[in-house]
Homo-oligomer: A and B are copies of this chain.
Amino acid sequence: MSGAGLATAALAAIQSLDAPALDVFFDLLVDEFSPDPARVEQAAAAYGTHPSSTNLRRLREAVEPPRQELFRRLNLAPAGLARLIEMRRRLLCTLADHVQRASIDDDLVQLFRSWFNGGFLLLQRIEWSTSALVLERLIQYEAVHEIHGWRDLRRRLEADRRCYALFHPSLPDEPLIFIEVALTRGMSAKVQPLLHPDSVVVDPRTVDCATFYSISNCQEGLRGVSFGNGLINQAVADLRRAFPQLRMFATLSPIPGFTRWLATATASLGCDVISAELAALLARLAAGDAPDPTTMSGDLQSELSRLCAYYLLHAKRGNVPLDPVARFHLANGAFLERLNWLGDTSVAGIHRSLGMCVNYLYRFGDVERNHQAYARENKISASCEFERLATLQVG
């Protein structure tokens, strides 16, 4: 009669462990709750000889770390799921110094991927009438364009804005991920006018474009469980139902890795490629200075734009784009439509990408083809203009 009771007690105990005690606990999970190599080899050999269903079952039992069952039982406690997510958050902080614990992490990720299967998640529109508890978490979790208090938030929930979040039924007050959308006439090129709390509210019957300007994961302890694709699909479906007149679904996205890449990559691109002005800018960046893009010369603007387009289209990590936001949208089937100079002039925007941002476009006729081309050949789709811009005269 005590599964839930034991789980509650155990989780409360784990929750209260300080860092050294938690280390002991994690080491125990590695040392005592891992599969037995001898038993694994034996089961693998039997399956190799005779791949029957019985042998497969034995093999899988031998391979599953016993800590998996422990985690499953801990979930029986009230708030068990939230506490397991918190436990993984604490585990993640220790991984760099304890590589063996990656196995514990693998177990938790596997569990969470199963439990947070997209079929179980609930799309919820976030409105001003939503619980303040949830709204407060949006303020806290927004990772792209900071929300400066309730007035700022309220503008993002007006009639010409939409906000959607995914929830797990067992965590009704905890958004897993959320996306913010501006309904606009034409595709937006700049984010500050969208965010301004006093900006004029557009009559949503007159819009033709949905601009996705921010998407944020909320739970550090669910890192590696992917929610973005499902959220975008469902948000688009809901927007099409509500506004059949929409003709464009685009993002207005940050370029988080550009400045970092710029600092290191220009050397390898060859010295012919960069101007003296850019060299000076790089020196300032290296010194920790924040340049002001509104005062840059036309030549520098042009040079930086070309480099940024090149970065998005050609800079790679292995076979895929170096930029994480690019990886996400391109894998989803979007394509690179337009680079926007002065698109995000916030401190964060300048720090990330010298004030530039980019529109990815979701064109329904092409999404599946783009997605397949990317998945099979890592092929990136882009507009002609974008491709032209990305052509560097490398020396």
Binding site for B on A (CB under 8 A): 1-4, 34-35, 37-38, 40-41, 43-45, 47-48, 51-54, 56-57, 59-60, 63-65, 72, 75-77, 80-81, 99-103, 106, 110-111, 113-115, 117-120, 128-136, 149-150, 169-170, 173, 229-230, 232-233, 236, 332-333, 362, 364, 367-368, 371
Chain B nearest CB: distance from A162 CB in Å?
16
Among the interface residues A35, A38, A119, which one has the most CB atoms of the partner chain B within 10 A? Answer: A119
> A117-B75, A332-B1 are contacts. A47–B57 as well, Cβ < 8 Å?
no
User: In the complex the two chains form, is A229's CB within 8 Å of B3's CB?
Assistant: yes
Please report the C-alpha to C-alpha distance between residue A369 and residue B333 in the assembled complex, in whole angstroms: 57
Please report the C-alpha to C-alpha distance between residue A149 and residue B153 in the assembled complex, in whole angstroms: 14
| Chain B residue with Cβ nearest A362 | B1
| Chain B residue with Cβ nearest A35 | B56
Q: Report chain B residues within 8 Å CB of A40.
A: 44, 47-48, 59
Please report the C-alpha to C-alpha distance between residue A48 and residue B35 in the assembled complex, in whole angstroms: 10
Chain B nearest CB: distance from A378 CB in Å?
18
Q: Report chain B residues within 8 Å CB of A57.
A: 102-103, 106
Among the interface residues A43, A63, A106, A169, which one has the most CB atoms of the partner chain B within 10 A? Answer: A63
> A35-B56, A60-B63, A100-B52 are contacts. A118–B230 as well, Cβ < 8 Å?
no
Chain B nearest CB: distance from A226 CB in Å?
11
Q: List 14 A-B contacts (CB under 8 A).
A: A1-B229, A1-B232, A4-B233, A34-B56, A37-B51, A60-B63, A60-B64, A72-B117, A81-B119, A114-B114, A115-B115, A119-B170, A131-B132, A132-B135
